[in-house]
């Protein structure tokens, strides 16, 4: 749901890529690159979702991408303006 600040409506979404140690890499650089690749796969499918890196050649293609629209993490902005 959008939230309003000073009569301006805001909608927040996220695209998240996930890589797993040690399956996808054993160092930070490898893990970050694979998580980044998975994130861009999520964005190509419309964004607002999350997905795991999966090596090319495994069943289902390069990435296992999930629809973020069906995932509710329950985030609701809170706080007061100064």
Encode pLDDT of 48-79 as tens digits. 999 988 776 555 445 555 544 444 555 555 66
Longest dimension (CA), the chain: 52
- For 65, the 3-state DSSP assignment is strand
pLDDT of residue 34: 93
Question: Mean per-residue pLDDT for 12-29?
Answer: 93
Q: Find, among 63, 23, 20, the residue nearest to 40 by Cα.
A: 63
CB 42 within 8 A of CB 74: no
Higher-confidence residue of 22 and 60: namely 22
Alpha helix stretches (DSSP H) within the chain: 28-44
pTM exceeds 0.85 = no
Higher-confidence residue of 39 and 78: namely 39
């Amino acid at each position: 749901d959008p939230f309003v600040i000073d009569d301006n409506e805001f909608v927040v979404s996220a695209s998240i890529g996930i890589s797993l140690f040690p399956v996808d890499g054993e160092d930070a650089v490898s893990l970050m690159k694979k998580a980044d690749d998975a994130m861009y796969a999520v964005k190509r499918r419309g964004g607002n979702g999350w997905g795991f890196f999966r090596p090319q050649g495994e069943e289902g293609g390069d990435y296992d991408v999930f629809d973020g629209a069906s995932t509710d993490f329950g985030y609701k902005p809170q706080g007061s303006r100064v």
